[in-house]
Structure 1
Amino acid sequence: MTEDDWLAARFEEKRDHLRTVAVRILGSPQEAEDAVQEAWIRLSRCDTGEIDNLGGWLTTVVGRICLDVLRLRRGRPEQPVDEHSPVLVDPEVPDPELEAVQAESVGFALLVVLETLTPAERLAFVLHDMFAVPYEDIAPIVGRSPGAARQLASRGRRRVQGRPELLDTDAHRQRELVTAFLAASRNGDFQALLEMLDPGVVLRADGAAADRGAARLVRGAAAVAANFSGRAAAARVALVDGIAGAVWTYRGEPQVVFRFSFDADRITEIELLGDADYLREVELARFDG
């Protein structure tokens, strides 16, 4: 058996699992097949000697492909979804496993709810809650930290479980917390900052934000509070991918996004992100009022 034959055989062992993952994320057997095929193409072109866990690597690749598909969907004119939608019914795919997956996991009601999630929320929720993929593995797929990936999955879970009132309450409280945090930062109120931060809070900055003077990595409430005291004067509260955060803009263009992760009434993580590719893709919106 040649090396190519061996690799193809290993991939076929994973195909059903990958197809199931893709169907549950996308809700479309045809798009799922396309995603799996694209994963094979990427695998066949890479140096497999650097892959320690083939199953995990392929799941990550399929996740990224599916995320791209979801983002492309959001850029198209909206299409009505009903019981006759080709996303739900595909007579060209007789595979009983796919039909079972559709019936159990991508039924009409669930699909409608999933369509209300952002692509990152949808991916994080499906991978974690349906396939037990760790947040540490989901994070690089969505371009977030593990804490932010947890937050995305949590928001998706609440909507799927039909608890919008809890989501609204959390969003309102998180907005208040970010607003108070920025105010304390501008005023140099160290004690107020300290009270809003979890003892184990982590501050991270990507390369672009660090080039603008942000610290790369700071751990602990006291150190993070000291880092923000008297700063963030130009930051304004915003929705960042549907979660309360902040953004610093210059001449109307975002320069650095502040992503927050929360646990009850404390901030557990702050990310400062200024990468140009990230800024082009992130969903930013002002809070009403």
Structure 2
Amino acid sequence: MTSEHGERTQDTTGRPAGDGRTDPATETFVAHRNLLFTVAYEMLGSAADAEDVIQETWLRWAAVDLGTVRDRRAYLVRIATRQALTRLRALGRRRESYVGPWLPEPLLTAPDVAEDVELADSVSMAMLLVLETLAPTERAVFVLREVFDLGYDEIAEAVDKSPASVRQIAHRARAHVAARRPRGVVSPTEARKALDAFRRAAETGDLQGLLDILAPDVVLLGDGGGVVQAVQRPVVGADKVARLLVGGLGRIAAFASLRPAQVNGYPALILRLGGAIDTVMAVRIDDGLITGLYAVRNPEKLSHMRRETTLRR
């Protein structure tokens, strides 16, 4: 559809508004939209910001002469990467003033995400937090190379570096992530087993049961964003975390429910109060024990828990 000035218009999803007919640019964009969202989300850790990147990518893609494009998928990824990098640098400054710990925005993911082990690992809450420790360009290079298997030449064009520089950045980022990521890929079955034990102990106030499933050096992070109450600093140690959980859940047990869900490709728990989502709790598991608990309570980060998000590589 065009405006009175002859300009093409878009709907709020980043797709052109119109009468149902699509042109090659639109067809290509729609075909790769889930991939582009996944790239942006892994770089930003925020679904809302990833959606904004998709909008910006469409606006630039709609103005491209397709006759000059050799590889449309690579071209779209390049646009999305550049937009995500610009936003990531701006977000870094914004997060410095964030109230309390910052956690990635959780996604209710479709079952097929868990079936792709590498994709599930790359979007897990634990991995996104590791990626937060990378510089923006390092994060982009790592995501494009390790997750999406792009060639160094393609990545170089996306991040405005030489292929030789990209190789060095990739090596440095890979070593950085390897030193901080979970010690091994956790199967959904193993994650579900640990989470079930955690849930039973938490619901019944079984302090010893929690201590049995929590690693001695477990870390609990809470994200309320200054909007709702949450722990303002990391809580470290099995005893402190277990007592905090037993006390907190004990006070709301009469009108709360704790149910499993597939979040960021792995089993997680959703705490509902009066039927409404109050907290999404994801975990990091190492050697069968929970080493990280990530409780997202900021209401602004829970909108993508109402429907499944499709992610693609």
Q: TM-score, normalised by structure 1?
A: 0.48
Q: Which has the higher helix share?
A: 1
- Determine which structure has greater relative contact order: mean sequence separation of CA pairs < 8 Å that are 6+ residues apart, divided by chain length: 2
Q: TM-score, normalised by structure 2?
A: 0.45
